[in-house]
Amino acid sequence: MHLSSPSLPRSLACTAASLLLLTCTAQAQVLTGWAQMPAATLSDGPTSGQFAAPNPYGTNLPPFVNAQPVQGFSGVLATQRRNVFRFLVDNGFGGQGNSADALLRAYSVQVQWRSRKGGAGTIAPADFLSAGQRPAFDARTRLQLNDAHRRLTLPIQADYSHYYNNPANPLVDPSIRSGRLLTGADFDIESIRRDRYGNHWFGDEFGPYLVKTDAQGTVLRSEISLPGVYAPQHKDVVAGRAVANLPGSGGFEGMAINRSGSRLYTLLERTVTGDADKTLRIDEFDIASERYTGRRFIYPLDANGTNIGDMVAVDDRRFVVLERNGSTVTSPNPPPFKKVYLIDLEDVADGGVARKLELVDLMKLADPFDLNRDGSTTFTFPYVTIENVLLIDPRTLLVVNDNNFPYGGGREAASDNTEFLRIRLPVSLVASERDHDDRHRHDDDDED
């Protein structure tokens, strides 16, 4: 654990000092819960994967007839029920050109933790509204993005007779056309937040755009661009009105909503052309006016980091960020780098660099009860992409990988499963008596 800046505001300095004191004991961050979702977890829907490349591992071969992959997860929300979460599925099979038949959905999942006192270590489908357990991933377990009211200003697959508007391709599934369902060729959604009015905001990588929907997933307004930033798939780049200045798959991988619910903070995954190397933009967006405020901050990547995976708010000025490189067990050069940071924007001027504190090294996590049963009391999380982080309480994190189904290679030469981690921090991120009580409640109840 280290500080990335010698000058910290009091709120972060106090937390940092406590954390540094506790790291005198090796591996103070502890895995208290673990669960796994099999790679080939599917739901009903139109045939998917018709344009996806074969899986090099020889299993889980597309297409998936009359089925949609439930994974990979790239954003997470809490629900009113403990251990039930809503997970966003990203664009499908990794790119705009192979995901036209992959529907943009979010699923409700119940995590049945394995802890120090046992437990299943599995997941179950949950009702999207009530959070009660369901027998399968069906229509009641999900939110389905759609443009039924024709609010978007860009063409979508539902506008075409054939996928990609190419008569040589199969017909667009009738359910996509009739419901104007959104697909992975329309947006690459990588982050999700729910505002105080019950609406959802999705962060996309193709624009990058913000997409606003109601609670049922129906788009409410036109897509919102980030001023001055253009990915190769942005509608203005495609039309020849702008030049791309952001690499592909470099958009809103991270997006947080502050605790007061007034602002979104979008975090790009890649560096904008002309910006300093290994710096990422954080832009502030006002939810009430539906406009960017013009305030911008800079997230500095670690020397070993190449991408961020997710961001969640602690309060109005502090955020937890996942950072990684692309290395895995099967591709270990350079060594896998997967970490969780706390950043602070308090007293940082517009355009300034966020203060940064390492919280967790996901490649060196204490696992005293060997919850994943690999024979080691040190847990490693070597997946290519780790794209879900949530603050369960002020000293407990949920971290989940995106398994990039049907591909993988994270732990072995096979399709990756999705693993769910519950991590106890050495101290609360919010110092108060109530948080002290939360800490003890989770210490006592970590076997749920």
**Does residue 210 sit within a domain?**
yes
**Does residue 372 sit within a domain?**
yes
- Give the integer Cα–Cα distance in Å for 367 and 320: 22
Full residue range of the structural domain in which residue 257 is found: 10-444
- Give the integer Cα–Cα distance in Å for 398 and 393: 9
pLDDT at 432: 61
**Does residue 4 sit within a domain?**
no
CATH number at residue 117: 2.120.10
For the chain, what is the radius of gyration of the CA atoms? 21
pLDDT at 28: 79
434 pLDDT band (50/70/90 cuts)?
low
**Does residue 323 sit within a domain?**
yes
- Residue in 93, 96, 216, 95 with CA at minimum distance from that of residue 154: 96
pLDDT digits (tens, 9 = 90+) for 11-35: 444 444 344 434 433 447 999 999 9
Q: Which of 72-81, 198-207, 217-226, 433-442 is predicted least confidently?
A: 433-442
pLDDT at 273: 98
pLDDT digits (tens, 9 = 90+) for 345-377: 999 999 999 999 999 999 999 999 999 999 999
pLDDT at 448: 60
Judge if pTM exceeds 0.75: yes
If you write DSSP's letter for every residue of 301-343 in order, what string do you get? PPTT--EEEEEEESSSSEEEEEEE-S--SSS-SSPP-EEEEEE
pLDDT at 1: 37
**Does residue 1 sit within a domain?**
no
**Does residue 204 sit within a domain?**
yes
- For the chain, count helices (H), then strands (E): 4, 25
pLDDT digits (tens, 9 = 90+) for 52-111: 999 999 999 999 999 999 999 999 999 999 999 999 999 999 999 999 999 999 999 999
pLDDT digits (tens, 9 = 90+) for 227-283: 999 999 999 999 999 999 999 999 999 999 999 899 999 999 999 999 999 999 999
**Does residue 2 sit within a domain?**
no
Structural domain count of the chain:
1
**Does residue 277 sit within a domain?**
yes
